[in-house]
Structure 1
């Protein structure tokens, strides 16, 4: 099995309440609202409510997610405010003309939001500009105030997420990586047992759950990279890590497909135990990677290599045996598929370990 080149620390008891994330988020939002309200009152902003609304809209569970929401809202606000202001300037101020303009602008911006979801707030902003501007309020000033106040709300929201009981997207991403690798390890152990004992194994539900977990990891990874680009964190994770995890998921899914029908007893006698031990070694490797990604430990694959070598020896003997010569075409294809999948997963696990090491040195 892969060894971690440092002594394992004893597990610490979890003293934090399960409700702590909700409490922390409530505190962050309250602090952001307080600061924003104070700034609005200090500078007597006429549309200051929109700064508060923005805080409530963009505040997410991590600094990276909040920054992403704030940037998206600002972009949509600028687009909607400029277009709405331009329409106000060229449209006669009659109910019929303003109503027609509202319908056209809302349709155009909604169409754009479907193509670019980041712009989904533009139609709302344009409608606000068209419907709430009073005649004594110059259009240009109204539009600029709207942009400034949305910017203020987003900026305060990001700062609150960064400094008030902060939660890093990277920390959440690492937790998801650990859980995902643990799930992969459990599935590999189940596959090893099924392969060795000639049992039928259905992986449909597990594959769906694994896919959903990977999609959640991808979303958190985007937020973590945004934190890095904005200078909110120093640590980084290689872009190749999520891609490698997807390849591993595909390998596990492919192995599950091979095990839906048990291999014949002669094949299990020839390579079943060696293949099962290789799957078990990869499960241990996955758990070692989960530990390494959390605490930057170094993974050694010396013992995993022994299982791979034992399988290759058994596979070569099978190829040269009477059992192989008497196999049907389909049966031989499944055996070679087993060998290919095991080798590919081993390669992907080594790639994952290399990418984790790469991120540690970045």
Structure 2
């Protein structure tokens, strides 16, 4: 009994670890970066190891590409803010309260404007303020020594944080992008599998709206990770293929699925068109959902795309039915609105078919690029 419970617990822990391996890896990297930066700062006898530890935590990000960008941006911000703040503190005496307020205004206002215009330099005002105020608050040496130590402390933190991100369970931007792409495919599969004409309950409609929101959020995360992957490749840290074409294909699939849902959930076509089309659309939804779900699995595993035989057969059957109805003249007596919906349905199905084929090509490209 106890052994069976331990086995259940072990499986649960393994499943949770796999589900949150990226987050757990980031936790480990941040912890190691903080500890190592403190040890090195104390070994080098830096006056304020706090800045080294905080910098190491700031530049230790989810992916190597994000850590690289954070390291460059934070280092540039620190150097620029330190030079500017040090120059103000040296050139303008500020022993009195009013002179200190003047120097503080000059240290913040121009750099705050710069940070607003260049968001990657948002740490510039902070560095400038530290150089101006730290000697008076901490009773340390003058602004020149404070500036030198500030750059040394931040530089050490940047080096430690980036090396830990690169060496300890590194997560590349392209890999994270593929994980987000697989999440998008799973969500699209859930939507497409519900491609059933007819009325929809309010609960189901709300669930679909939530799915659409989650798809949009996942696409946004995918875009960020893909950009970080390109930063890694530009720096020679990765040889992974560009995932931005995959992101574009997924965005088109999202548009196709939403369009198709709106068409089939609108006003029903008159009989016998509706009853003859319904089974074909249901099969397209089921086959498409099955294909998208399998495609996400193969994409994560870097394997070739799944078989599309059932999916192609479903599209062929739907296209043949639409062509047959047109050939029989069943659309001649329809209103202009119904005719528009009928042809929009045909066009949406063909667009979905073409983009699913493109998805297969993108998955194959990813698999062969290993």
TM-score (norm 2): 0.82
Contact 1:285–1:304, Cα closer than 8 Å, also in 2: yes
Greater relative CO (CA pairs within 8 A, separation 6+):
1
Match of 2:334 in 1: 327
For the aligned residue pairs, the C-alpha RMSD in angstroms reads 2.8
Instruction: Give the counterpart of 1:341 among 345, 348, 364.
Output: 348
Match of 1:7 in 2: none
Once the two structures are superposed, the pairs formed by residues 151-230 of structure 1 within 5 Å of their partners are 151-191=155-195, 194-195=196-197, 198-200=198-200, 202=205, 203-230=208-235
* Aligned-pair CA distance for 1:155: 1.7
Q: Distance in 2 between matches of 1:230 and 1:79?
A: 23
Instruction: Give the counterpart of 1:236 among 226, 230, 241.
Output: 241
* Aligned-pair CA distance for 1:82: 2.3
* Aligned-pair CA distance for 1:117: 2.1
Q: Distance in 2 between matches of 1:14 and 1:289?
A: 26
Match of 1:58 in 2: 59
SS in 1 for 2:193: helix
Q: Distance in 1 between matches of 2:339 and 2:114?
A: 53
Once the two structures are superposed, the pairs formed by residues 275-314 of structure 1 within 5 Å of their partners are 275-299=281-305, 300-314=307-321
Match of 1:249 in 2: 254
Q: Distance in 2 between matches of 1:14 and 1:166?
A: 25
Match of 1:5 in 2: none
* Aligned-pair CA distance for 1:24: 4.6
Q: Distance in 1 between matches of 2:182 and 2:330?
A: 41
* Aligned-pair CA distance for 1:290: 0.8
Structure 1 gaps, min length 5: 1-12
Once the two structures are superposed, the pairs formed by residues 102-113 of structure 1 within 5 Å of their partners are 102-113=104-115
Contact 1:237–1:356, Cα closer than 8 Å, also in 2: no
* Aligned-pair CA distance for 1:223: 3.1
Q: Distance in 1 between matches of 2:89 and 2:267?
A: 71
Q: Distance in 2 between matches of 1:263 and 1:91?
A: 77
* Aligned-pair CA distance for 1:102: 1.6
Report Cα offsets for 1:234-259 as digits up to 9, x if no partner.
43343211121111111112122223
- Relative to structure 1, is the Cα distance of residues 339 and 105 closer, same or farther in structure 2, using a 3 angstrom cutoff? farther
- Relative to structure 1, is the Cα distance of residues 157 and 178 closer, same or farther in structure 2, using a 3 angstrom cutoff? same
Residue range with higher mean Cα deviation, 339-348 or 213-222: 213-222
Instruction: Give the counterpart of 1:99 among 98, 101, 121.
Output: 101
Structure 2 gaps, min length 5: 1-10
Match of 2:117 in 1: 115
Match of 2:268 in 1: 263
* Aligned-pair CA distance for 1:187: 0.8
Q: Distance in 2 between matches of 1:162 and 1:241?
A: 25
* Aligned-pair CA distance for 1:359: 3.2
Residue range with higher mean Cα deviation, 100-109 or 342-351: 100-109
TM-score (norm 1): 0.84
* Aligned-pair CA distance for 1:126: 0.8
Residue range with higher mean Cα deviation, 61-70 or 117-126: 61-70
- Relative to structure 1, is the Cα distance of residues 136 and 28 closer, same or farther in structure 2, using a 3 angstrom cutoff? closer
Match of 1:16 in 2: 14
Q: Distance in 2 between matches of 1:266 and 1:114?
A: 61
Contact 1:180–1:214, Cα closer than 8 Å, also in 2: yes
Q: Distance in 2 between matches of 1:355 and 1:23?
A: 29
